[in-house]
A and B are shown apart, each in its own frame.
Chain A
């Protein structure tokens, strides 16, 4: 009885009729690899890139080692948990002995097949993620014992229902207004529920010692990610926006301890490059912040366009990059109660996601980034039908106009058909920034 309550209720499951034969799946999978390789080729055209980037390139292109590792982990009884969004407390998952894998996708080819089970008028991220996982293009999906979906935007909520036809799903009930006490109480309760669910899944209690250890490890992950980002505050930049994205996107699936070590290595190389006067962008290069709907691999269209048009992305507030590991957990008291509350706070209070009723914190964050990173303009990326970001654009653009901060809205999808128009807009925006100097 209790066991049943844990699951996402779906009393009328349905079968999809999607006729995708083996050959088609192979074609889509090949295309995914082709696009990934093409992305890397474009990145490699940049001179003076850090050599340690190679590690991240390799694991993004070839996930076989990680899959093997996870298969062995599962053979020993370990559980793999698929997660969406940045609201799922990974500390708890690791402390329970499970491994989280982030499942979002930015791949065009998986959209059309998904449209049988997802409405056409849904944002490409949701459609692509469902298609990517449902069609088993993503080999990591098959390893997942459970998929956790926070009820963040409407797309994610309904995706939980759709995916529950084919997979074991848990939702994580998100508050809408995070500024009221009731939301915090409810959210902390939800975190406690998740702890219990994980304990029942593994049959083991999450110990205080384990949780403390993982809070500390992931605290370190936040610290190295922050250090990597802060390098772009320099007038001359040693790592561009695309490479920063690339590094963060590998954290979707990589082992966190190995990832931390590799990022530390990269940061050290970049620091040495600064000493040696090795840069990817000089002082005169226009500095841009990108914000809005998250860019998920292999969707690099807008980033490529900005940086291939002679500008550099110095910062972002994306849940798939700059904001992914931004918020640390700060604790004095290591009681279980204090840890659970601190985890709750970390994943609620400072998260600048547009699913919440208020957008002012996100605006503050953007203004802060603009100052710290000396950005000259903001590219506001909206995935078509991603309503929450579209809503917030209006308030932000009005404020920025008053503050004379140049901002451009780029509304697009995953397909390449509008690449020409986007290039014209972004080039004109960069010309505008240069003319303002």
Chain B
């Protein structure tokens, strides 16, 4: 019997997936906050608690995400790109073989291209700026004083999305403020923002060589308006797994499981 964990410390949230004998048995998500080590400990303990285990029972732990080295436990680290591919290939899609992954996280947007055997052939990430990421939508939602759920509903209800040109979070925010001043309906502004992000994400994916079937994950995949926008830009449907936020942690856990199995057989 083996128990392994994958810990994904993102810029906004920390995620854990626990595998027992290679099968996912528990997962948890929390906000990363200022102390990512504490967040990682908490979320790991919470997950382990769900199966009545504790840290002593862990055979192998792999950490990933931008804070992968900032935590003081774990056997190994891998990048979120490799982990994401592993997780997505493991989950698969109902529609057939996955050839691309689009991931919208808090701070990063990524496009990963896979070959027919599930190996990465190319990947592209957004620049250091936050436009086109989850953080961008958070900032704007806050300045429009709308909770995220409403925000998405409003986006889907608009018939006349405005065009937002700014490619920088700071400038886009001021562009939004000036649109409010011009009394442009809120839903049209929000829909315009989604459209602008979707276009940017789709362009990034196209430069990487995106092809169907596209697996859409990360926190951004929980936003149906983004999914719809990206599909419109790409011209085909994308597949969103049941729990898009934990795919990377799952990939890290699978990596941990494989590593542990290999060690045992030696």
A positions within 8 Å CB-CB of B: 401, 404, 406, 411, 417-418, 420-421, 424-425, 427-428, 431-432, 435-436
Contact = CB atoms under 8 A, between A and B. Distances in A.
Nearest to B113: A401
Interface stretch (B74-82, B133-141, B180-188, B211-219): B74-82
A420 B128 CA distance: 10
Given A401-B209, A420-B66, A431-B78, A425 B127 contact: no
Interface of B: 66, 78-82, 108, 119-123, 125, 127-128, 209
A401 B121 CA distance: 9
B85 to A, nearest CB: 9
A401 B122 contact: yes
A424 B81 contact: yes
A431 B127 CA distance: 21
A428 B127 contact: no
Nearest to B80: A424
Contact of A435 (B66, B120, B125): B120
A427 B79 contact: yes
A436 B119 contact: yes
Contacts of A425: 81, 125
Nearest to B126: A421
Contact of A421 (B78, B119, B128): B128
Contacts of A417: 128
A409 to B, nearest CB: 8
Contacts of A401: 122, 209
B79 A428 contact: yes
B120 to A, nearest CB: 5
Contacts of B66: 420, 424
A431 B121 CA distance: 11
B102 to A, nearest CB: 16
Contact of B120 (A404, A418, A427, A432): A432
A427 B125 CA distance: 13
Given A420-B66, A424-B66, A436-B119, A411 B127 contact: yes
Contacts of B79: 424, 427-428, 431
Nearest to A421: B128
Contact of A431 (B82, B108, B128, B209): B82
14 contacts: A401-B209, A406-B122, A417-B128, A418-B128, A421-B125, A424-B81, A424-B125, A425-B125, A427-B79, A428-B120, A428-B123, A431-B82, A435-B119, A435-B120
A61 to B, nearest CB: 29
Contacts of B108: 421
Given A417-B128, A421-B128, A431 B119 contact: no
Given A417-B128, A418-B128, A432 B80 contact: no
Contacts of B121: 404, 406, 432
Contacts of A432: 81-82, 119-121, 123
Contact of A428 (B82, B119, B128, B209): B82
Contacts of A406: 121-122
Given A431-B82, A432-B119, A432-B123, 7 more contacts: A421-B128, A424-B81, A427-B79, A428-B79, A428-B81, A428-B120, A432-B82
A192 to B, nearest CB: 46
Interface centre among B66, B78, B82, B127 (most CB of A within 10 A): B82
Given A401-B209, A418-B128, A420-B66, A431 B81 contact: yes
Closest 5 CB pairs of A and B: A428-B81, A428-B79, A431-B82, A432-B120, A427-B79
Contacts of A435: 82, 119-120
B208 to A, nearest CB: 10
Contacts of A428: 79-82, 120, 123
